Each structure stands twice: as C-alpha cells, then as structure tokens.
Amino acid sequence: MVPSDFEAFARERSARLLRLAFLLTGNQQDAEDLAQTALVRMQERWDQVSSADNVGAYAHRVLVNQFLSSTRRRTLDIVPLQGDWVNASLQPDHASLVAEREQLKQALCRLPPRQRAALVLRYYVGLDTHEVSLIMEIHESSARSAMSRGLESLRRWLCADDEGWENSNAAIRD
C-alpha cells in the first residue's frame, strides 16, 4: 500500500520533476520514464526519505543521479543543430523566441550529462552552486567547472556574436 503522504508529495511535485527530467533528457518519453523511476525509488524508501530535511531537494538528487547513471549505461543520441542561428532584433517576435528555445534545447542535449545536469539545476531550477554540488554529490569546484564548460560549449555552438548570447540567455529564463 502506498503511504498517503507519498501520494500527496507525488501529486504536488510530479509536474516539476517531469519538467526537470525533460530538460535533462531532451525528449518526452525518456523524461516520463526518468521521473517515474525517480518516484518509484523514492516510494521504495519513503520512510527514510520523508524524514529528510528537504524532500524536494532529495527528489532532485534522485532524479539527477538516475539520469547520470542511465547515461553511463547507454549512448546518448546527439541532436545536431539545424539551420542558422536566428538573428534577433531588439524586440524579437514570438516565433524567434520559440526558435531560439528549440535551438537552445538541442544544444543542451549535445552537452555531456554532467554538464547538462549542472546547468539545468543552476539556471532552470535556480539553485546556487553549493546546492548543485550537493544534489550532484560532487565538489563545489567540480560543479562550477561543469557549469563553466557547459556554458562555453553553448556559447560556441549558439553564438556568432554577443547579441545572440544575450537573447539565448532570455530563452533559458523563459
């Protein structure tokens, strides 16, 4: 029987976990599998998990660890960037923002899993470097290094000039 407090937690947090999983995996089916696996692992140890100081952070850790371990076992499909980077004006229209987000998502999928996880936790979830290092179970300097290398790769892939990078930063936040 599933504890009622776990059911409440899963109902409340599953959409957020699914969004995080989607950003890590790059596709809906893998994201659903990853989020479901993380919830199953948490349910198996719910007595221990529910006593944690921050169950939400624990859920992030389980999801990221599951993502990193699953990518070690299989080869990731690399999604190549297609087309030219959209030259955005000062006030881009909706279509260019959608195109930029799609290119950013594709570039994010090209990153190694550890860099992708660090960037998603830092810039999408909004955690500071210390929290990222705790969730990923790595040193803070390793988290900073993963974020720095990931951002540099994104810049190289996405930016022909500084203006393009400014607009891609907006796409990360949106």
Of 50-54, 63-67, 73-77, the poorest mean pLDDT is in 73-77
pLDDT above 60 (res 145): yes
Q: How many CA atoms lie within 13 A of 64 on its CB side?
A: 25
The per-residue pLDDT for range 74-127, each reduced to its tens digit, is: 554 544 434 443 343 345 567 777 787 888 888 888 999 999 999 999 998 999
The residue whose two tokens read 């407090």 is 5
Rg (CA), the chain: 17
Q: What is the token pair recorded at 155?
A: 């810049």
pLDDT of residue 118: 95
47-50 own/partner pairs: CB under 8 Å, 24+ apart: 50/3, 50/5, 50/6, 50/9
Q: Is it the case that residue 35 has pLDDT exceeding 90?
A: yes
DSSP 160: S
CA dist 39 → 7, 42, 109, 127 (Å): 10, 5, 23, 21
Please report the pLDDT score of residue 87 as a whole number.
41
Q: What is the pLDDT of residues 149-165, one digit of tens each?
A: 999 998 888 874 444 44
